[in-house]
Amino acid sequence: MTINIELSPFDLFDKWYEEAKEAEPSDPNAMTLASVSVDGKPSARIVLLKEWDKDGYVFYTNFESRKGQEVLATKNVAICFHWKSLKKQIRIEGIATPVSDEQAQAYFDTRPRMSRIGAWASMQSQPLDKRETFEQRIKDFDTKFDGQEYFPKPPHWSGFRVTPENFEFWEELDFRLHNRFIFTQKDGDDWIAQRLYP
Ligand SMILES: Cc1cc2nc3c(=O)[nH]c(=O)nc-3n(C[C@H](O)[C@H](O)[C@H](O)COP(=O)(O)O)c2cc1C
């Protein structure tokens, strides 16, 4: 077992992701997203990685949710993948910025109709008095967009692109004697890999 540090961290991510797609029974694109509030309190939850390239890693969410507000306010995030079946972990720390409305709408249009209705109906992270209130909102938006195959995304629903400042690749070895490398960039130049004690 070894981590191929000849590859750029973006290419190494892609290589491991391809392995995860084969090995993970569900949601290989699930990642923990950690955000931080303006008063420095961290919070974490799972989101799904939907698009990625050399510019960063994109997830979609409600910008009025707890995470949405925190990410808009402080921009600093960490994401973490753990693929149990591969015994591998990738950590990325970086800066999150909203994607364009065009990019978000293009992704929104690929979602099943009821997921799109749900994005309108859910006031994510707000108190909900009872399930029926949510179900009524779902009905109302379903009626509002009745007969429309495509309709606009909610203004408060979009994506964040996480531009990496560093990557860490970790693979499990026997007796907890793991391999671990952190990649950082010096002055916007090539990525440098540094081995870390596990
Ligand atoms: C497998 C899985 C995938 C999820 N994907 C997303 C996602 O892509 N976007 C999202 O907003 N919430 C997603 N969630 C729900 C979040 O974990 C979280 O409950 C929700 O976004 C509210 O978080 P917040 O109150 O911290 O903003 C997912 C949850 C799980 C378990």
Q: What digits encode the pLDDT tens for the residues 37-85? A: 999 999 999 999 999 999 999 999 999 999 999 999 999 999 999 999 9
Residue 189 pLDDT:
80
Residue of 66, 176, 180, 195 marked catalytic: 176
The model's confidence at residue 188, banded by pLDDT at 50, 70 and 90, is confident
Beta bridge partners of 163: 95
Q: What phi and psi values does residue 158 have, to the nearest 5 degrees?
A: -165, -165
Distance 24 CA to ligand 1 centre (A): 19
Residue 87 pLDDT:
97
> Average of pLDDT values for 12-39?
97
Residue 186 pLDDT:
84
pTM score above 0.95:
yes
Closest listed residue to residue 7, CA positions, set 198, 190, 197, 195: 190
Alpha carbon nearest to ligand 1 atom 13, residue = 47
Residue 2 pLDDT:
84
Show the ligand 1 pocket: residues with CB < 6 angstroms: 27, 30, 43, 45-48, 59-62, 65-67, 124-125
Please give the domain boundaries of the chain with CATH numbers for all domains.
9-109+155-195 (2.30.110.10), 113-149 (no CATH)
Please answer whether residues 16 and 24 qualify as being in contact, where contact means their C-beta atoms are separated by less than 8 angstroms: no
Q: Cα separation of 128 and 83, whole Å?
A: 33
Catalytic annotation on 176? yes
Residue 52 pLDDT:
97
